[in-house]
Amino acid sequence: METEAYIALGSNMGDRELNLLRAVAEVGKLPGCRVTGLSAFYETSPVGGIDQPSFYNGVLRLATELPPRELLERLLHIESDVFGRVRTVQWGPRPMDLDLLLYGSMIVEEEGLIVPHPRMAERRFVLEPLCNLAPGLVHPVLGQTVAQLLKTLRSDESVAKLQPEILT
């Protein structure tokens, strides 16, 4: 049985746009998974007080047969094995960050796995692309839609939707 999951994508090292596109392709290759939606990409200011380049962020919707723990483990594998991510500084620069935001309407609290993502409602860089993709999606704990959460968010983050390049 498939479940609809939402994955946040972020990159601030290397070719950020290409990294996001590669990550979408890698997630889509996971067994029992199909990418069914992709938000616009956004350029966002870093969060966490570390001096670093801005990020490109997006969100993808995934139809998956993988249970939440296995999906998370495979996302972490993509970060490390495909993109060479090494976790040294919390919230530091990274070629790819993949966060499991939502897994259907499930609420999961286990060692190393919390769904919905515990900080998603506090982060404009997550809510903007998620709202672009699924504004009526309801947060299973807070009981509000993504659009409502975004409207009431108080944040000084800079988030700008990227315009597609015009081909000539």
Active site residues: 85, 94, 97, 99
Name the residue type at position 64.
T
Backbone angles phi, psi at 61, to 5 degrees: -105, 135
Between CA 41 and CA 33 the distance in angstroms is 21
What is the distance between the alpha carbons of residues 158 and 122, in angstroms, rounded to a whole number? 13
DSSP character at residue 81: I
The count of other CB atoms within 10 Å of the CB of residue 49 is: 7
- CB atoms under 10 Å from CB of 97, counted, come to 21
Bond before 95 cis per omega within 30 degrees = no
